[in-house]
Structure 1
Amino acid sequence: MSQIDAVIFDIGNVLIQWQPENFYDRTVGEARRRAFFADTNIHHHHEQIDAGASLPGMIDSLVPQYPEYEAELRMWNDNWNDLAAPAIPHSVRLLDALVDKGMTVFTLTNFGHDNFPLSQAVYPFLNRFNREYVSGRLKLIKPDPAIYAHVEADCGIDPDRLLFADDRTENITAAAARGWQTHLFEHPQGWADRLVAEGLLTAEEAT
């Protein structure tokens, strides 16, 4: 009998690939992409979105600072569902299998409040969580201990009965420090094996 009461999924690079460089390489070419990312430090600015800022608002504020990259900046908003793509099929099957078995499943994700619904619209599996802990809504961001404390207080489940999968070591470390069960996501098969080991899925269900 598993001692896990809820399974918690990160989204980026767990359920959906988050490598926006791939989109820009296809559309503007690698050299232009490298210059754009280096000159604008776009990943750093995107952290504001995860922390609660508006995505289109951020882009509007950056265009006057980097007018030579206006087209690329607009793509960050206008082509969101090309940047946050594609889905990771095996991980999605694991989520669906857990939900179909009646397991309580949450997401704890660094994601903007206005672009998360855009992803939900094209990826129906992102609507299957019992609870959604989205950093842009909470204005708290992993690995801040406060976001984990919020999850605990909101769901009322003891930390040692939560199993959390994330692809970033610092996020896993912060959760483990609060007593959560954790899994550093490196590939879907490893996560599948962990769910089977916990007795949450059978080997067949985890394929």
Structure 2
Amino acid sequence: MTTWMLLDYGKVISLPQPAEDMAAMAALAGRDPDVFHGRYWHHRKSYDGGRASHLYWGDVLERELSPDDPVVAELDAADVASWSHLNPESMSLLQELTGGHRLALLSNAPEPMAAAIDRAPWAQVFAHRFYSCRMALAKPDPAIFESVLRRLGAEPADVTFLDDQAVNVEAAAALGINAVLYRPPDPR
């Protein structure tokens, strides 16, 4: 029986990142939007894994940045804002789930996003919030799911996991977690 609902953040609780937000970040960085987009995702795994913001944005912009460079704070804020459009369907689901399940969050996220989620009033329904940047592990690595299970004090069969990435769902299911592929609503 499921006692824990473990939910992903990006494209499950939040809506997909709007193209106009990505374009605004590219403009802020003074980069071609297509080049910026490619470099943003190319280096994202290490950022989600805990790499410092100034090093990540330096990789994206192909130049050295100091931790106190104003562009780092501006890009961090724009990035967090781009992922902060909440999915109304998921917000309703959270309300329904709070009555009968214990809730936990598991997200591949960099520290600025993790901190923003932790401050959000809606996030307080989660008994536990797990972030790749703080665990030095990321989905779909089975070790992140094993660590979450230990910290929840749960057996795999006690957990239902919702994620929008098939590879993450498959990794959780391989451990015996009831894993469900979430399909975000069509933005049209």
Classify the TM-score, shorter chain.
Answer: 0.7 to 0.9
One-letter amino acid of the structure 2 residue matched with residue 131 of structure 1: H
Where does structure 2 lack aligned partners over 5 or more consecutive residues? none
Any idea what the Cα deviations from partners look like across 1:136-195, whole Å, max 9, x if unmatched? 10000000010011011111211012100000000000000000001100036xxxxxxx
Q: Please identify the structure whose Cα radius of gyration is greater.
A: 1
Any idea what the Cα deviations from partners look like across 1:84-119, whole Å, max 9, x if unmatched? 1310011011112212x1520001110112331124
The structure 1 residue matched to 2:105, chosen from 104, 107, 110, is 107
Partner of 1:205: none
Matched, 1:150 2:147: yes
Contact 2:21/2:78 (8 A) holds in 1: no
Deviation at 1:126, TM superposition (A): 1.9
Go from structure 1 to structure 2 and tell me whether the alpha carbon gap of 1:62 and 1:182 turns closer, same or farther (over 3 Å shift): closer
Go from structure 1 to structure 2 and tell me whether the alpha carbon gap of 1:187 and 1:79 turns closer, same or farther (over 3 Å shift): closer
Partner of 1:89: 88
Contact 1:164/1:180 (8 A) holds in 2: yes
SS at match of 1:115: helix
Deviation at 1:71, TM superposition (A): 9.8
SS at match of 2:111: coil
RMSD, aligned CA: 2.9
Matched, 1:132 2:129: yes
CA distance in 1, matches of 2:48, 2:18: 15
Q: TM-score, normalised by structure 2?
A: 0.82
Contact 2:138/2:144 (8 A) holds in 1: yes
Percent of residue pairs bearing the same amino acid type: 24
CA distance in 2, matches of 1:5, 1:170: 23
Q: How many residues align?
A: 180
Where does structure 1 lack aligned partners over 5 or more consecutive residues? 189-207
CA distance in 2, matches of 1:35, 1:71: 21
Contact 2:2/2:159 (8 A) holds in 1: yes
Partner of 2:35: 35
Any idea what the Cα deviations from partners look like across 1:13-69, whole Å, max 9, x if unmatched? 0001242533133574xx93113223xx211212112111122442245545389xx
One-letter amino acid of the structure 2 residue matched with residue 134 of structure 1: Y
SS at match of 2:42: helix
Contact 1:6/1:163 (8 A) holds in 2: yes
